[in-house]
Structure 1
Amino acid sequence: MQAEPTTSLVGEEYEVEIGPVAHGGHCIARTAEGQVLFVRHALPGERVVAKVTEGEEGARFLRADAVRILEASKDRIEAPCPFAGPGRCGGCDWQHAKPGAQRRLKADVLAEQLRRLAGLTPEEAGWDGTVVPAEGDKLPAGEVPQWRTRVQYAVDAEGHAGLRRHRSHEVERIDHCMIAAPGVSELGIERHEWAGMESVEAIAATGSQDRQVILTPRPGGRLPLVELDKPVSVMRVDEKAGGVHRVHGRPFVRERADGRTHRVGAGGFWQVHPKAADTLVTVVMQGLLPRKGEMALDLYCGVGLFAGALADRLGDKGAVLGIESGKRAVEDARHNLADFPRVRIEQGKVESVLPRTGITEVDLIVLDPPRAGAGRDTVKHLASLRARRIAYVACDPAALARDLGYFGENGYRVRMLRAFDLFPMTHHVECVAILEPATKGA
């Protein structure tokens, strides 16, 4: 039996009142007929004309952009970036909101995810309900912090660099990204042609003058002669295997945090905001209160940021085991932590490696999982190790809330939660939760 054809609603316009913010950089509205809209470029309480960008008749919800503002929120400003707005660059979600309003929106999202997925109020999570700006980022409305030390530019068919439009492969040409860190802007990526390239990633290390450009060619594309405005190392992504190979200069950048220099290989993970690494290490260590001689785990450890901070505080009789799936990140972590003889880094997925270690008890755990979170089975295993404190670092409030719910099911409670605006102008928020056994002496 042939399915009934569906009718696309793309381009349809609805006059709606904007409801609460939702996770993902949009707000919720309903049409007069009750159809749910996820509306970008709007703010709670506004009345707007929303134009559908995705969806069809009978869909559970439609996606839309606010194309005309009929009644504006007091939190609305004119977007500082000339490339922001409906149908344009998808990199920033809240250019049209005052900085303080952006942080309140992120706090609302986090509170809703905690309530819905973990059954926790802010008070029960030890959270004061605020999202805190990074040092130096508290700026007046209309001023944009230049925080993004890693920017991946897309390249259009003519070889011009830009950024992708929201939920699209289309490239919005730009001449400058307002949130790019000065070290990235100085490279002048937008002023050069990149014929044959799929993307160009620009990296400006924190605490060193290292600059790196990673080129991803289109199939059959040849690398251009790279002559940028500043000295850089150049890497390329292999179109078949996906590996990153050195073309010119160092195959890594040197990042500085917690008083140490960390080697980060091409394509390796490092916090994007220049203040993020130090901010997160400080909060994690204050929450864990490491004691000399303790045993700790650093899971999804990357290049060893938290493992090094733990080892430094646990002393000569302490020990740290780090687990990381990325081969290059493991090599970097072992290099970065070579001066700590009681630190061991294992390669593999946490859920596979940790059971093989035979570890049945630890004092402290740090986990900084990918956006999807750790998951029920991994959380259950971690809870069985009876750590006196666990630090959970999260970039996604929904995944964090789900995992906090799982920890609750396995005998742990949230002692403290902190939230940081380490991605201004976007919907992303970074959190640190400190957990402890729900029963004293457990």
Structure 2
Amino acid sequence: MSPQRPQRPSSPARRGPSRPRGRAGNAGRRRHEAVDEPAQRGPAEEIILAVGAPAHGGHCVARPADDPTGRVVFVRHALPGETVRAAMTEKNAKIWRADAVEILTPSPDRVDSVWPQAGPGGVGGGELAHVALPAQRTWKRWVLADCLRRIGGPATAQAVAALEEAGSSGSIVVEPLASEAAAEASGQAREARLAGTGTRTRVSLTVGPDGRPGMHGFRSGTVQPLDRLPLAVAAIEEIGLLESSRWRKHYRPGMRVEAVAPSIGEPLVLLDDRVLTSQAHATGRRRVEEAVDASGLGLGELRYSLHAEGFWQIHRDAPVTLVDRVVRAALGQEPSAAGTGGDGAKALGGARGKRVMELYSGAGLFTLPLAMLIDGGELCAIEGSSQAVGDARRNLHGLGSVRLSTGRVTARSVTQAGQAMGKAPDVVVLDPPRQGAGREVIGALAGLAPERIVLVACDPAALARDLAVLLDNRYELAAMSALDMFPHTHHFETIAVLERR
């Protein structure tokens, strides 16, 4: 899958005993809830599979090795081109699912898992931990192209293929964030092998019946205890949530444990409705401070204050990368898929006085730099969480011409917000939840006729659906970039820039 050939595993040895898989934890703004399924009785049925292309959701499409035209099985923990022995985990009239439990013919892109507990029968949230990081990005590139073609339709796929950044392949490269790129380029084998670990500043756990914290099984309500948190930043690992007796006395079965490591100040731990310090002492502190380097936009360091349980991008590099990409795309003289840095003042010289609408605006990650750069312009933001809107008001204090509205983003609320602005917005920025904005909201947005739309999507299927509606409503795709903000999982972020025809 990748242009590089990672080290082949020492042997395709059979993995350990099967255990239920776990919940992904805090994989981003749109969390995955566990789904209870009937427990399987007796030994799992096994099948030898020839593994094909990746599918959206962290599976690969496979068929019986002795029957290339046989029933499709969606298999996890495998790689394209492999032959695996798989244990069936779900089998009904609509879909067959399986976990690869023995690798008979390994791919050159297979590596020793950076999180073995997320392997077959383990916890969720690390379904690509056995895949070399460059190959993970190729996997996601294939999935993005497939969703745009299959769900968005031929017109959407053709619009993407025509972009300069799609190149001769006609597909968008999924780019690493700064820390992964640096680790891979370091020349140090250990750093490269562990790239993508130690990046998450938010982690969610559940206390199991035995009082030990863990994560849920894949499509299961069973909590499996953990012995380490390899995707968490060092500040969270050092708290000792998994093994320290000082935490165990606070745990109760079923309790939610949320660890938050902000960029400013010490971590906090949320235990249901209680907040504790990193030393397990009760505290009245319920807010955290975050800093975002926006020097590439000419704004220096931005400061944000938000509730500890409020949403914030979880990869340590994500806020600065998204702020630079999205704001440049929204206010730059030309839409751009370029990275951070550059002459921000020159690139955004035409931003003053612009009318901007932002949907799903959260605590103001994009709202703050947008408001600072449109001095003399107008900004209207809509967010469904009253707590997030309160945080945004604090973060935007003193900035004029900003109207923050609390309420669901619907076709009606978008139309009303547009009418309140008097004139059509010059640009609309939207960062919807995992299911996307939807046909009605996108239709209302297109009805406002902004010159530019910047759509941030964390799900390629939802992106494809929303793009198709925009392309049917007099918009053309001007730029697209994809970011690997969730290494070792199947998730990634995409930014699409559209302009009115």
TM-score (norm. length: structure 1):
0.87
Q: Following TM superposition, by how much is the alpha carbon of 1:435 offset from its aligned partner in structure 2, in angstroms?
A: 0.6
The residue number in structure 2 matching 1:44 is: 80
**What is the distance in 2 between the residues matched to 1:385 and 1:295?**
12
Partners of 2:267 and 2:278 within 8 A in 1: no
Residue 60 (structure 2) pairs with residue 27 (structure 1): yes
Partners of 2:414 and 2:441 within 8 A in 1: no
Q: Following TM superposition, by how much is the alpha carbon of 1:377 offset from its aligned partner in structure 2, in angstroms?
A: 1.1
1:334 partner amino acid:
R
Residue 314 (structure 2) pairs with residue 272 (structure 1): yes
Partners of 1:14 and 1:51 within 8 A in 2: yes
Partners of 2:204 and 2:258 within 8 A in 1: yes
Q: Which has the higher contact order (CA 8 A, sep 6+)?
A: 2
Following superposition of structure 1 onto structure 2, how do residues 54-133 of structure 1 map, counting pairs within 5 Å? 54-56=90-92, 59-118=93-152, 119=154, 120-121=157-158, 122-125=160-163, 127-128=165-166, 129-133=172-176
The residue number in structure 2 matching 1:214 is: 270
Q: Which deviations, in whole Å up to 9, do the C-alpha atoms of 1:351-402 show, x marking residues without a partner?
A: 1422233245110110000001001111111112221211111111110111
**What is the distance in 2 between the residues matched to 1:342 and 1:209?**
31
Residue 201 (structure 2) pairs with residue 149 (structure 1): yes
**What is the distance in 1 between the residues matched to 2:75 and 2:255?**
30
Return the match for 2:354 from 270, 274, 294.
294
The residue number in structure 2 matching 1:201 is: 258
The residue number in structure 1 matching 2:363 is: 303
Greater fraction strand? 1
Return the match for 2:286 from 251, 267, 270.
251
1:187 partner amino acid:
I
Partners of 2:269 and 2:278 within 8 A in 1: no
1:303 partner amino acid:
A
Q: Following TM superposition, by how much is the alpha carbon of 1:196 offset from its aligned partner in structure 2, in angstroms?
A: 4.0
The residue number in structure 2 matching 1:3 is: none
Following superposition of structure 1 onto structure 2, how do residues 273-422 of structure 1 map, counting pairs within 5 Å? 273-288=315-330, 289=332, 291-315=351-375, 317-351=376-410, 352-357=412-417, 358=419, 359=421, 361-422=424-485
2:62 partner amino acid:
A
Q: Which deviations, in whole Å up to 9, do the C-alpha atoms of 1:107-162 show, x marking residues without a partner?
A: 11001111122231442355432111110113355314311111001111121111
Greater fraction helix? 2
Q: Following TM superposition, by how much is the alpha carbon of 1:172 offset from its aligned partner in structure 2, in angstroms?
A: 2.1
Partners of 1:36 and 1:60 within 8 A in 2: no
Partners of 1:210 and 1:254 within 8 A in 2: no
Partners of 1:10 and 1:52 within 8 A in 2: no
Q: Which deviations, in whole Å up to 9, do the C-alpha atoms of 1:20-53 show, x marking residues without a partner?
A: 0000011011233722211000000101111101
Partners of 1:10 and 1:53 within 8 A in 2: no
The residue number in structure 2 matching 1:4 is: none
Change (3 A) 1:344 1:325: same
Partners of 1:126 and 1:415 within 8 A in 2: no
Q: Following TM superposition, by how much is the alpha carbon of 1:188 offset from its aligned partner in structure 2, in angstroms?
A: 1.4
**What is the distance in 2 between the residues matched to 1:61 and 1:195?**
37
**What is the distance in 1 between the residues matched to 2:386 and 2:266?**
22
Taking every aligned residue pair, what percent have the same amino acid on both sides? 39
**What is the distance in 1 between the residues matched to 2:444 and 2:278?**
50
**What is the distance in 2 between the residues matched to 1:197 and 1:66?**
30
Q: Following TM superposition, by how much is the alpha carbon of 1:78 offset from its aligned partner in structure 2, in angstroms?
A: 1.3
Note the residue ranges of structure 1 that are not aligned, 5 or more in a row.
1-6, 218-222, 235-247
**What is the distance in 2 between the residues matched to 1:407 and 1:335?**
34
Partners of 1:324 and 1:348 within 8 A in 2: yes
The residue number in structure 2 matching 1:158 is: 210
Partners of 2:117 and 2:123 within 8 A in 1: yes
The residue number in structure 1 matching 2:338 is: none
2:71 partner amino acid:
Q
**What is the distance in 2 between the residues matched to 1:342 and 1:126?**
36
User: Once superposed, which parts of structure 1, at least 4 consecutive aligned residues long, lie more than 6 Å away?
Assistant: 7-10
Partners of 2:179 and 2:317 within 8 A in 1: no
**What is the distance in 2 between the residues matched to 1:126 and 1:322?**
32
**What is the distance in 1 between the residues matched to 2:433 and 2:397?**
25
Q: Following TM superposition, by how much is the alpha carbon of 1:414 offset from its aligned partner in structure 2, in angstroms?
A: 1.1
Change (3 A) 1:413 1:10: farther
**What is the distance in 2 between the residues matched to 1:204 and 1:342?**
33
The residue number in structure 2 matching 1:433 is: 496
**What is the distance in 2 between the residues matched to 1:9 and 1:416?**
52
Q: Which deviations, in whole Å up to 9, do the C-alpha atoms of 1:290-335 show, x marking residues without a partner?
A: 52101101110000111111111111x1111110000100111111
Residue 303 (structure 2) pairs with residue 261 (structure 1): yes
Partners of 1:102 and 1:425 within 8 A in 2: yes
The residue number in structure 1 matching 2:336 is: none
Q: Which deviations, in whole Å up to 9, do the C-alpha atoms of 1:43-89 show, x marking residues without a partner?
A: 00101111101123xx2221100011111111011112231311001
**What is the distance in 2 between the residues matched to 1:196 and 1:397?**
36
**What is the distance in 2 between the residues matched to 1:96 and 1:73?**
11
**What is the distance in 2 between the residues matched to 1:126 and 1:325?**
36
Q: Following TM superposition, by how much is the alpha carbon of 1:197 offset from its aligned partner in structure 2, in angstroms?
A: 4.5
Q: Give the secondary-structure state (helix, strand or coil) at the position aligned to 1:101.
A: helix
Q: Give the secondary-structure state (helix, strand or coil) at the position aligned to 1:350.
A: coil
Note the residue ranges of structure 2 that are not aligned, 5 or more in a row.
1-39, 167-171, 185-191, 295-300, 333-347
Once the two structures are overlaid, the 10-residue window that deviates more, 403-412 or 132-141, is 132-141
Change (3 A) 1:210 1:125: farther
Partners of 1:12 and 1:51 within 8 A in 2: yes
1:169 partner amino acid:
G
Once the two structures are overlaid, the 10-residue window that deviates more, 140-149 or 19-28, is 140-149
Change (3 A) 1:279 1:231: farther
Q: Following TM superposition, by how much is the alpha carbon of 1:101 offset from its aligned partner in structure 2, in angstroms?
A: 0.3
**What is the distance in 1 between the residues matched to 2:473 and 2:227?**
51
Q: Following TM superposition, by how much is the alpha carbon of 1:286 offset from its aligned partner in structure 2, in angstroms?
A: 1.9
Partners of 2:362 and 2:388 within 8 A in 1: yes
